[in-house]
Amino acid sequence: MKSTYLLLTFLVLLGFTSCISTKQLTYLQQQGTQVDTIMPIRKQQEPYRLQINDLISIRIKALDQQLMSMFNPIGDEANSSASGEERLYYDGFRVDTHGKIRVPKLGELTVLGYTVDEVRELIEKRLSDDFLKETAEVFVTVKLSGIRYTINGEIGSPGSNSIFRDELTIMEAIANSGDITLTGDRTNVVIIRQYPLGQKIHHIDLTNIEAMNSPYYYVQPNDLILINPLPQKSLGAGTTALQSFTTILSIITALTTAVLLFITL
């Protein structure tokens, strides 16, 4: 009889520990009393600096468009059937393992660690020095060819995505991938980010409102976002109170049936 009570106590405790609380599921929670507040303006984000394998788009406009056509590959008949991300793959300029890009006529340009504005200034200077007259008017645009990231783990639609914007928050990235599942750990989202000297692992707690001030709240190109499972998933007793109760009731029913059959034999 004593062992039966111990078993029942264990099952009840398992049911409580296996339930996932609302606090573990709610994003960007405020501390203390919940009132309408204005979040302070976040500090200016450091401009993104190009890394290896980044893809950038370069467009050059001038009065003499025939001369500029060699710098603007989009529109080539060979790639006319490509669209969207395929077009960017063919026509963009990828930063190679040496931190360089190859631009028609300008040759190889070292851009690793540069911002897109610094690359624009570099191209404008090279054009002015080598190809254009001082009086020539030229307009150069340099942009990242979208923000490509990969998200895996406890997420609705894992995989790689490309968003054609200048900024993307981790909340938007998660929403675009179908949201974190009930068994996903929102308190410890892992971000593996690329840097010139290698990769670094960062963590962010998306249940805390202060996450919006984190330097990792904004996704950068080639980020790998990992959503790890909560301990409750490994217990397998259910993610809600009803599921846990049903599971425990099933176990108790099975044990009772087994005991009764054993007694009657």
163 and 207 inside one domain: yes
Domain with residue 117: its CATH number is 3.30.1950.10
> How many domains in the chain?
2
Give the domain-ending residue among 125, 144, 163.
144
Determine the structural domain holding residue 109 and report its residue range: 55-144
pLDDT at 17: 53
Phi, psi at 59, each rounded to 5°: -125, 135
> Please, which residues have CB within 8 angstroms of residue 127's CB and are 6 or more apart in sequence?
60, 106, 138, 140
Alpha helices in 177-240 (DSSP H): 231-235
What digits encode the pLDDT tens for the residues 134-177? 656 788 999 998 899 999 999 999 999 989 888 899 999 999 99
Q: Return the pLDDT at 138.
A: 81
pLDDT at 131: 74
Q: What is the DSSP string of 38-105?
A: -PPPPPPPPPP---TT-EEEEEEEES-HHHHGGG--TT-GGGTT--THHHHHHHSEE--TTSEEEETT
Q: Is the pLDDT of residue 249 over 70?
A: no
**pLDDT exceeds cutoff 60 at 9:** no
The chain-wide mean pLDDT, for the chain, equals: 79
Is pLDDT at 108 greater than 50 in this prediction? yes
Reported as a single tens digit per residue, the pLDDT across 59-96 is 888 776 666 666 665 554 444 555 566 777 777 899 99
- Between the alpha carbon of residue 164 and those of residues 86, 145, 222, the distances in Å are 13, 7, 14
The predicted structure's pLDDT at residue 110: 95
- Least confident piece of the model among 6-20, 46-60, 84-98, 245-259: 6-20
Is 41 contained in some domain? Answer: no
The verdict on 73 and 125 lying in the same domain is yes
pLDDT bucket at 118, cuts 50 / 70 / 90: very high
The reported pLDDT for the residue numbered 105 is 80
Q: Which of 144, 172, 194 is at the close of a domain?
A: 144
Q: Which residue has the higher pLDDT, 97 or 232?
A: 97
Q: Is residue 197 assigned to a domain?
A: yes
Are 163 and 201 contained in the same domain? yes
The three-state secondary structure class of 175 is helix
Which pLDDT belongs to residue 96? Answer: 93
Please state, in angstroms and rounded to a whole number, the distance separating the CA atoms of residues 180 and 25.
Answer: 9
